[in-house]
Amino acid sequence: MIFHMCLVGIGGFFGAICRYLITSYFQRILPRRIPLGTLAVNWIGSFLLGYLLGITEDNELTLLLGTGFMGAFTTFSTFNLETVKLLTSKEKTAGFIYIAITYTGGILLAFLGLVAGKIVKGV
């Protein structure tokens, strides 16, 4: 149990750092109405989590990379806050676009990641 909690914690540590670096980079180079940094980490995380689940059934690897890293790397709470800010400002259209592309892209990328993982695994 302690070992599994450590795996999640270590993965989360690195996932949070990567999320910070990627979102900071996108905010610096592409200041836009739609928060592209959060969108990027959520899309990347959706694909990678699908891929991970497609290639492995290893519980410890899933805890480290899936629950830990991807759990901290992707950010549902930030997505929600950014969406509320857009919808309560004069950026309602951008808010609805952000919701649509986040969910549509995230689900599609998770599916493609799962398929890619199964192809690599040979299933």
pLDDT digits (tens, 9 = 90+) for 2-54: 999 999 999 999 999 999 999 999 888 887 788 999 999 999 999 999 999 99
Q: Is residue 71 part of an annotated ligand binding site?
A: yes
Chain segment 47-91, per-residue pLDDT in tens: 999 999 999 989 999 999 999 999 999 999 999 999 999 999 989
**Amino acid of residue 60:** E
pTM exceeding the 0.75 threshold for the entire prediction: yes
Closest CA to 68 of 39, 48, 54: 48
Q: Is residue 38 part of an annotated ligand binding site?
A: no
